[in-house]
Structure 1
Amino acid sequence: MTRHPDPDPDPTTAHDAGPAATTARSAGPVVTTAQGAVRGLRRGETLAFLNIPYAAPPRGAGRFAPPQPHEPWQGIRDATVPGPTAPQAERRLGALDMSPYFGAGWSVGEDYLTVNVFAPATGGDGLPVMVFVHGGGFAAGSTRAGLYDGSAFARDGVVLVTLNYRLGIAGFLDLPGAPANRGLLDVVAALRWVRENVSAFGGDPHNVTLFGQSAGATTAGGVLATPEAAGLFRRAILQSGSGLGAFTGEQAARVTRAAAEALGIEPHVDAFAAVPDAQLVETASRLAGIDLRTATHHDPLLGLSPFSLVLDTQPAEAVAAGLAAGVDLLVGTNSEEGNLYLVPVGTYAGSSAADVDATAERSHPDPARLVETYRASRPGASSAQLRSALMTDALFGAGSRALAGAHAANPESATYAYEFAWRSPALDGELGAAHAVELPFVFGLADQPGLNGPGALLGPGRPPADLADRVHATWIRFARTGDPGWEPYDTDRRATMRIDTEWTQIDDPRAREREVWD
């Protein structure tokens, strides 16, 4: 790691946050990036550098333009306190406290295209680098969320980078006159920043693992299929995303028309560029539930979010054509993803056969066959369990399996698959292996107070410590070596590691379901 003496910061350029921050600055490590020097924090075994810009602030019309380089700064920039976040509405999820996942919401400020960097306090060079893309339905989330503290990664010899990217209308609304998928372009820009700067923090710029969860995983899958990102990372981990999660142009146009009508403006970038952020956020929150089914495509997000990637070719199809051939891939889902969208809001236990049929109708071109397949593969399952299982695969499972199969068909790199099956006892034991439950284990934070309790993500009591240690170590092992410790996934066996208190490798564990989705 490149370190420097600790000169006093230039008060005209350092970002002052009061006496406590001034004390931290005077004692903290200083690293020089291509844009200027930053002073971080020493926290036990971790050095943390917060709120470092990787792109220019997206102001005015720039909110709908490709990310631009950030201007250099003089002196030492304070990197000891969290910065602003992408504009977003506050997110709640019924009886479940998801604040560790979403964070506190919008922290207002324009200079939010930033990264947090966590590195070992012991220093080092050539360390593996992991770059995380948060989830939140393409409309919420930030590096300030408690779940994304990278201290455990740094403790274990990894340089961990988390990033903010544009969300909602600014990030993903498809607008005539503007580039598509601006949030994805931000992720690519952050990866370029990592390539240019991470060695100063002790990381190896040629051993970068891109990983993400939910919308962050779907975005990372889109980055896999982006030619401009080739060579910026060596491996990828996609947690509960989808290689089939992008909207078509027709679907995206429906959302754009609805947003323009709600604002009373023309559906063009020039009109949207004149609307302030607060109004865009308020409008975005009114777009959920638009029916995006067309004559040829279902809604890959089942109406849960009006935003996604917008692509002519799904990421799984682009990967099948050879993109990402040199990138090792670990991809997986949780066993009961759909529970997150039903249990906390009180719609799980009362699910009926009609709800099962309605979910199938929204998910698949042959809903009767879909329901028949799931009933046959789950004898004795309740309507609630069937409804959740259909949502699990419609949102994440089918698209993850498609991406794994597409990637495994190319022999130039390795593919691995997992299914996270540990059941959270939250909400009277009903939450189970729901969407996002694996994240505290990956980040080594399963023992944190905010994640434990009757209404917390991991429920009352303490989750198994050995499970947390093993999951976290497995992600790091893959980042270091490209091998998580089990058999690769191929198009014959489809070996998948089922992760629970016991780990069991299973060949093609969802064969019936995979066939009906194929």
Structure 2
Amino acid sequence: MSERPRVRTAEGVLEGRWRRGLAEFRGVPYAEPPVGALRFAAPVPVRRWEGVRPAVEFGPTPPQSGPVRTRTDGGTDWLTLNVCTPDPGAAGLPVLVWIPGGGYLTADTSDPMYDPAALAAAGLVVVSLAYRVGAEGFAQLDGAPANRGFLDQIAALRWVRRNIAAFGGDPGRVTVAGQSAGAGSVAALLTMESVPTEEPVRAMDPARAVEPEWGMEPEWVMEPARDLFQRAIAHSVPGTHLTRALAERIARALADRLGVAPTAAGLAGVDPWRLAGEVTALGAELPGPYGEWGRLARTGVAVGPVVDGEVLPESPWAALAGGRARGVELLVGHTRDEFRLFSVMSGRAGTFTEEEARTALELFAPRPEGAAAYRAAFPGAAPGELLETVYSDALFRMPSLCLARANEAAGGTSYLFELGLAATGFGGALGACHSLDVPLAFGTLDSPNGVGLLGEDPTAAARAVSRELRDAWVGFATSGDPGWPAARPDGAWLTRVLDAASGTLPYPERASVRIWEDHYPTPFGLGE
């Protein structure tokens, strides 16, 4: 094991490193850098290289937006992925492809919270991928395809199909997984049924591989994104999709700030990190002058997936429930107190007013009776409790449950969970908050974010929940069985509640279910 591990991919030879007995390959390009003439374009296949390419460092982070962002000057090779395998000489190992979240504004595969070592040591080949976020990935621009971040993910999954056998993985046993925006990406991938490949004929039949002269137009073929994986894991699925009309209005507002046209050509001359900063600034202003943007104005996120009618023809829930996409083996769930993280981190916990609660109900409760139904279901709730409940439901809990319901309607099998274990960080104020499940699933309780959420000495209950959730991922990716029964309508949507004393129960948020019974998440539109 003293020599560095090497693998031969379709694009060339990679040399990684050994870490904790595992072979790790970092910063592997799956597409050409999306800059210059390729900026705001669909991903283009990476050129083949001669010799041995080092793969020991993470690739440069794509431009990030949001209040916490760090500019990197490591280059523009943003479309890279990382592979960690227990044995590159093996064959047929199950594969888990991790899509990091971050509100569609950030996506950093180098976060220690995503360390794949525990999952790989349990027998999985773990892939994590970087993709374009913010305006680079999701701004609706004339002259550019919509949802470029999703197209990047599809390009990475095609790389996995071509190459993962060289790392010991089985291209016919791939599970895609994500949390928050990563889970929203998984939901979209389930239903993007008509996506052109970005590669020539070799994408469909490697035996007929032909390498076109660089710069030639590739031979495009249509292929369902769903054919690139067999199972899916989605934690805290966000219900935030935009209509095309709203996305176009946002693009105009963003371009106006920069004094350019809201087109790919107009924005091409703007530094990518400056553009990312303007997305951050626009998001911070949303509750003010942009009341016409309806629900979106209350999220603080100015860009996101667009139901554009082409790349993403309709929302995942509508496509699955309407029979226009087929179901899958799906492990899906959420935390109990999803919105608490945002209340605490913004310094607003315990300070929300009755007026703010009323606005939240008017915007996010299902219409027309949802606001009154919440008041009736939670009669003694303080304004902050009511606001957190409706935000948790509308943004994460109900979209997650609805994805399970829609997947079941499409002929799939869904396994539900709710994380009820409370975080111990921040003086216990976080509850079972958004993102707490990530270090538990990866077994990275000692990462900076893990320590922040669970303390330097996690409780025995936290360690037990971490083992169960990690085992659920491994079991599900390996055989489709997370360790508890599937959720069925006739079984009151059986749910694994992960807590100090875990158990399998009817779905616990019954009051919210009754309010949302006949509703699926709808795209955010102008004024709504």
Tell me, yes or no, if structure 1 residue 491 matches structure 2 residue 489. Answer: yes
Distance in 2, matches of 1:230 and 1:49, equals 26
Aligned pair in 2 of structure 1 residues 389, 230: CA closer, same or farther (>3 Å)? same
Distance in 2, matches of 1:293 and 1:400, equals 27
Q: Which amino acid aligns with 2:334?
A: T
In the alignment, structure 2 segments of 5+ residues that lack a partner are 194-223, 520-528
Aligned pair in 2 of structure 1 residues 398, 293: CA closer, same or farther (>3 Å)? farther
Distance in 2, matches of 1:305 and 1:107, equals 25
The residue number in structure 2 matching 1:70 is 46
The residue number in structure 2 matching 1:239 is 235
The residue number in structure 1 matching 2:363 is 362
Aligned pair in 2 of structure 1 residues 189, 472: CA closer, same or farther (>3 Å)? same
Pairs within 5 Å for 1:188-203: 188-203=154-169
Q: Which amino acid aligns with 1:474?
A: A
Task: Please list the CA deviations of residues 148-199 of structure 1 after superposition, one character each: whole Å capped at 9, or x if unmatched.
Answer: 1111111000000000001111100011111000000000000000000000
Q: Which amino acid aligns with 1:445?
A: T
Distance in 2, matches of 1:465 and 1:164, equals 29
User: Contact conserved, 2:114 with 2:444, CA < 8 A, in 1?
Assistant: no
Tell me, yes or no, if structure 1 residue 134 matches structure 2 residue 100. Answer: yes
Aligned pair in 2 of structure 1 residues 459, 254: CA closer, same or farther (>3 Å)? farther
**CA drift at 1:407:** 0.7
Task: Please list the CA deviations of residues 250-289 of structure 1 after superposition, one character each: whole Å capped at 9, or x if unmatched.
Answer: 1111211111101111111111122221321221112204
The residue number in structure 1 matching 2:384 is 384
Tell me, yes or no, if structure 1 residue 248 matches structure 2 residue 231. Answer: no
The residue number in structure 1 matching 2:220 is none
Distance in 1, matches of 2:513 and 2:296, equals 16
User: Contact conserved, 2:439 with 2:450, CA < 8 A, in 1?
Assistant: no
Distance in 2, matches of 1:123 and 1:377, equals 57
The residue number in structure 2 matching 1:45 is 21
**CA drift at 1:114:** 0.5
Selected match of 1:466 from 464, 467, 481: 464
**Larger relative contact order (C-alpha < 8 A, sep ≥ 6)?**
2
User: Contact conserved, 1:90 with 1:105, CA < 8 A, in 2?
Assistant: no
State the SS of the aligned residue for 1:417: strand
Aligned pair in 2 of structure 1 residues 415, 449: CA closer, same or farther (>3 Å)? closer
Selected match of 2:257 from 239, 251, 262: 262
**CA drift at 1:300:** 5.9
Pairs within 5 Å for 1:413-424: 413-424=412-423
Q: Which region of structure 1 is more displaced relative to structure 2, 397-406 or 170-179? A: 397-406
Distance in 2, matches of 1:278 and 1:430, equals 34
Aligned pair in 2 of structure 1 residues 111, 452: CA closer, same or farther (>3 Å)? closer
Selected match of 1:176 from 130, 142, 156: 142
Pairs within 5 Å for 1:9-88: 27-88=3-64
The residue number in structure 2 matching 1:3 is none
Distance in 2, matches of 1:452 and 1:53, equals 29
State the SS of the aligned residue for 2:18: strand
TM-score normalised per structure 2 = 0.85
Aligned pair in 2 of structure 1 residues 418, 323: CA closer, same or farther (>3 Å)? farther
Q: Which region of structure 1 is more displaced relative to structure 2, 251-260 or 299-308? A: 299-308
User: Contact conserved, 2:22 with 2:117, CA < 8 A, in 1?
Assistant: yes
Aligned length: 476
The residue number in structure 2 matching 1:285 is 280
**CA drift at 1:360:** 1.5
The residue number in structure 2 matching 1:425 is 424
Tell me, yes or no, if structure 1 residue 225 matches structure 2 residue 191. Answer: yes
The residue number in structure 2 matching 1:118 is 84
Distance in 1, matches of 2:436 and 2:236, equals 10
In the alignment, structure 1 segments of 5+ residues that lack a partner are 1-5, 7-25, 93-101
State the SS of the aligned residue for 2:339: helix
User: Contact conserved, 2:179 with 2:237, CA < 8 A, in 1?
Assistant: yes
User: Contact conserved, 1:83 with 1:107, CA < 8 A, in 2?
Assistant: no
Aligned pair in 2 of structure 1 residues 300, 163: CA closer, same or farther (>3 Å)? same
User: Contact conserved, 2:327 with 2:410, CA < 8 A, in 1?
Assistant: no
Q: Which amino acid aligns with 1:109?
A: G
**CA drift at 1:400:** 1.6
Distance in 2, matches of 1:343 and 1:253, equals 32
User: Contact conserved, 1:86 with 1:164, CA < 8 A, in 2?
Assistant: yes
The residue number in structure 2 matching 1:325 is 326
Selected match of 2:304 from 294, 305, 308: 308
Q: Which amino acid aligns with 1:501?
A: A
Aligned pair in 2 of structure 1 residues 208, 362: CA closer, same or farther (>3 Å)? same
Aligned pair in 2 of structure 1 residues 428, 501: CA closer, same or farther (>3 Å)? same
Q: Which amino acid aligns with 2:382?
A: S
Distance in 1, matches of 2:480 and 2:85, equals 21
**CA drift at 1:50:** 0.2
State the SS of the aligned residue for 1:211: strand
User: Contact conserved, 1:452 with 1:459, CA < 8 A, in 2?
Assistant: yes
Q: Which region of structure 1 is more displaced relative to structure 2, 347-356 or 475-484? A: 347-356
Pairs within 5 Å for 1:140-219: 140-219=106-185
**CA drift at 1:301:** 7.9
Aligned pair in 2 of structure 1 residues 190, 293: CA closer, same or farther (>3 Å)? farther
Pairs within 5 Å for 1:406-417: 406-411=406-411, 413-417=412-416
Distance in 1, matches of 2:447 and 2:33, equals 35
**CA drift at 1:449:** 5.0
Aligned pair in 2 of structure 1 residues 105, 427: CA closer, same or farther (>3 Å)? farther
The residue number in structure 2 matching 1:335 is 336
Aligned pair in 2 of structure 1 residues 107, 322: CA closer, same or farther (>3 Å)? farther
Distance in 1, matches of 2:188 and 2:297, equals 16
Q: Which region of structure 1 is more displaced relative to structure 2, 203-212 or 284-293? A: 284-293
The residue number in structure 1 matching 2:204 is none
State the SS of the aligned residue for 2:298: coil
**CA drift at 1:28:** 1.1
**CA drift at 1:324:** 4.7
Distance in 2, matches of 1:118 and 1:301, equals 40
**CA drift at 1:127:** 0.5
Taking only the aligned residue pairs, the percentage that are identical comes to 37
User: Contact conserved, 2:66 with 2:105, CA < 8 A, in 1?
Assistant: no
Q: Which amino acid aligns with 2:249?
A: R
Distance in 1, matches of 2:258 and 2:17, equals 43
